[in-house]
Structure 1
Amino acid sequence: MFTAQLSRFFAKAPTQVLSLIAVSVLAHVTMSGGRVAASLFALRHGGSEAMAGIAYSLYGLLPALLSLHMGRWIDRVGPRLVMRLSLIAMICGLALPVLWLNLPVILLTATLGGFGFGSYMLAANVCVSYMDFEQESERVGMIGWLQLGNSVSSVVGPSLVGLLIDFSGFRAAFGGLALIVLGSFLTSYRVHLPDGKRERARAPRGDASVVRMVFSSPQLLRIYILAMTVSMAWDGFNFMVPVLGQARGYSATVIGMVLSAFAIGTFAIRAALPWLSRRMPEWRQLSLAFALTASVFFLLPLARSSVLLATLGFIFGLAAGAGQPNILSLIYRAMPDGKAGEGAGLRSMMGNLMGLTGPSVYGAVSTLFGAVPVFLIIACVMSVSSWQAQRGAHHSLQAG
């Protein structure tokens, strides 16, 4: 039955689904690989660990600050143009170290790459809001499959960059990544993507911003706050599991196994979202996902075996992997015509800001009081989030 549901899903918009996944996988390979290459270059060429962290973080700096403006840009000119211009920005950034290989150029590459990829993924996700589906719930499955491609490329990118650096050096690594983005850019001309003309014609003028809409609507505000808690739990797990493992003397292999189990869980749930979304509405999925997340964070400090830790990591992966697609689907459904990009941009900005500030807070609390309070705080927040998602479901039924 699961296979039959997937077949029906791809029968709805096979060209658009495969087009977005194909172009996005190639683009995301360079993002995941570029971060590794930039931080390694900083470490190996006189930079400190702090400088390596700066090089890594610059990929997320501009998206954290400019995602809302990126979303408005997408609403004005359409997603296809933004996707292609973003790929050009990434190509230019990656080509710079091939010509001038030094630390300032690497930092510029990270900044351009982060801006290009952030605007690209926003536009790719907005494409989903313009696609027609027989049932609105199928949009969640489409978003899940788009992010499934990103999960695959997150594994391929760092491995590919590592091989290129070891065998041919950093110039070849950045040059290879630039060629991959060029392949993504050329592929975008060979596949069907929304052109945005219809959306530009519908875009409202002079109306309230999405920020004002969100803070004037309790239901919309609930969606965006829950989006921040998804990012909070995701970053909390990836940051605190190594901290917990280090405190307990676990090997890097064990810590890596737990994080890999989490990645497998996100992959599995995103693969199943086309089937799951036809049986469970977004709010219900979020309520269940947050409840699972709360349970995992309550149990993580108590888990003493590597197998149990990996099992909890996999369960959290199932919960976390379902969060963002359902949040985006609710946002697209709530946004008026011509505001999908701005709505997604606001979500991206809030998530990136949480990603920039959250680990610092977790580290400070962990230094003062140990790792356990961090896990318990996140567990309590996710418990409240599950209750809020249930309230959202009740409100949605009343409104319907």
Structure 2
Amino acid sequence: MGFELARLIAGQIFLHACMAGMRMAAPLMALREGYSEAAVGVLLALFALTQVFLALPAGRYADRQGVRRPLALSVAVATAGAGAAAAFPIFPVLCLSALMVGGATGVASIALQRHVGRAASGATQLRQVFSWLAIGPALSNFLGPFLAGLLIDHTGFRIAFFAMALLPLATWFWVRRTRELPPVAAPPGARRGAAWDLLAQPQFRRLMLVNWLLSSCWDVHTFVVPVLGHQRGLSASVIGTLLGAFALAATFVRIAMPLLAARLQEWKVITVAMAATALLFVVYPLVPTAWAMGLCSVLLGLALGSVQPMIMSTLHQTTPEHRHGEALGLRLMAINGSSVVMPILFGVAGAAVGVAGVFWSVGALVAGGTRLALRMKPAD
């Protein structure tokens, strides 16, 4: 599975880098054109809006079709979305691009996660493969914003958007020969209920709440750092580097985790990450320099980067195999439903109480949520 997994990770990097770069460049262009923080919040929310409606159908589609068809569709839509922003770099088109690129990335993510989870066997291998797979978004969260920031500073927004449109084409180069796994039939007598039936499981319910809290922290960092950097007069390259430092730290911890998978326990990793994140959210808005902001971004990347492999491993252990795609879709719908609402709230709150208030409010929620993570400890 080693080479196959490497190709899937490579493909994921380029598609996700397209979205990460667009999420940095589009709000920055809107700010420079004089749009308010609230408008930027709406723009960021649109990257998640399509995924809210597509997540469950995409999960069921992946359960039926496998991995290649969803990925081919995602590549086409992401390329068209970023290309539209390059051709017509105006706010309404940026909103359309956000819908298209965000939706495409979500569909691809579900298909890839389902495929990799099914190919793994046992809890330790689940932790390993999801740690490796999580390296993709972490690297792309560096590649996309860093590349976009450099291009914006040296060539302008139009060329930056055009470069983002080319990235998904590399995805198809890597994943086009992926071998499909045999379809999974439902066990005899199993009833296909509504996706919400999965929430009847207490462990799955707690997992969704913890995942929502921690995904909100990613949204806070993505939204607040460009705003805070703009307020402090930092260049696009520096802002992109701050976001990239966060991503590199998340990559580093995810590279280390497969080597330690046999010694890790999901609930312990998640609890420590939540406590560390809450503390860093108190400190971040108080630091005065770009270097100090970079250190906070690195520490946040280490904490939040460790979480997704543990979430995905737990999800695959607590849901039926024939409904993995559906469970992944429900998870993505929940966190992206939050990502639609939260940036708008962040924008309104940032205008009302400042970015420090946004950091501290979310940090308090995460601190309170550590109790949920403690209750995810498996029964002896």
Q: 1:211 aligns with which of 196, 202, 221?
A: 196
Partner of 1:183: 170
Partner of 2:9: 21
* Structure 2 SS opposite 1:382: helix
1:141–1:385: structure 2 CA closer, same or farther, 3 Å change rule? farther
After superposing the two structures, state which structure 1 stretch, 106-115 or 331-340, moved more: 106-115
| CA distance, structure 2, for counterparts of residue 304 and residue 166 of structure 1 | 23
1:77–1:53: structure 2 CA closer, same or farther, 3 Å change rule? same
Contact 2:277/2:300, CA 8 A, preserved across alignment: yes
| CA distance, structure 1, for counterparts of residue 153 and residue 241 of structure 2 | 24
Q: How far 1:130 moved relative to its partner? A: 1.0
1:120–1:255: structure 2 CA closer, same or farther, 3 Å change rule? closer
1:149 alignment partner AA: G
| Unaligned 5+ runs, structure 2 | none
Equivalent runs, 1:357-396 vs 2, <5 Å: 357-369=341-353, 373-393=357-377, 396=378
Q: How far 1:223 moved relative to its partner? A: 0.6
Equivalent runs, 1:1-400 vs 2, <5 Å: 13-35=1-23, 48=35, 57-94=45-82, 101=88, 103=90, 107-133=95-121, 135-161=122-148, 176-190=163-177, 192-193=178-179, 195-199=180-184, 206-214=191-199, 216-240=200-224, 250=232, 252=234, 259-300=243-284, 309-369=293-353, 373-393=357-377, 396-398=378-380
2:213 alignment partner AA: T
1:380–1:341: structure 2 CA closer, same or farther, 3 Å change rule? same
Q: How far 1:285 moved relative to its partner? A: 0.8
Q: How far 1:82 moved relative to its partner? A: 1.3
Greater RCO, 1 or 2 (C-alpha within 8 Å, sep 6+)? 2
Q: How far 1:233 moved relative to its partner? A: 2.2
* Structure 1 SS opposite 2:8: helix
| CA distance, structure 2, for counterparts of residue 263 and residue 102 of structure 1 | 27
Q: Spell out, residue by residue over 1:59-106, the C-alpha distance to the aligned partner (whole angstroms, 9 max, x if none).
A: 3220133212221221122223212222233344455578x6475665
RMSD between aligned alpha carbons?
Answer: 3.7
Contact 2:141/2:244, CA 8 A, preserved across alignment: no
| CA distance, structure 2, for counterparts of residue 292 and residue 324 of structure 1 | 15
Q: Number of residues paired by the alignment?
A: 376
| CA distance, structure 1, for counterparts of residue 137 and residue 42 of structure 2 | 23
Contact 1:204/1:338, CA 8 A, preserved across alignment: no
1:119–1:280: structure 2 CA closer, same or farther, 3 Å change rule? same
2:123 alignment partner AA: E
| Unaligned 5+ runs, structure 1 | 1-12
| CA distance, structure 2, for counterparts of residue 168 and residue 325 of structure 1 | 37
Percent identity between the two aligned chains: 31
* Structure 2 SS opposite 1:339: helix
Q: Spell out, residue by residue over 1:305-339, the C-alpha distance to the aligned partner (whole angstroms, 9 max, x if none).
A: 76655444332221111122211211111110221
1:105–1:276: structure 2 CA closer, same or farther, 3 Å change rule? same
Contact 1:203/1:338, CA 8 A, preserved across alignment: no
* Structure 1 SS opposite 2:176: coil
| CA distance, structure 2, for counterparts of residue 359 and residue 108 of structure 1 | 17
Q: How far 1:341 moved relative to its partner? A: 1.2
| CA distance, structure 1, for counterparts of residue 286 and residue 162 of structure 2 | 46
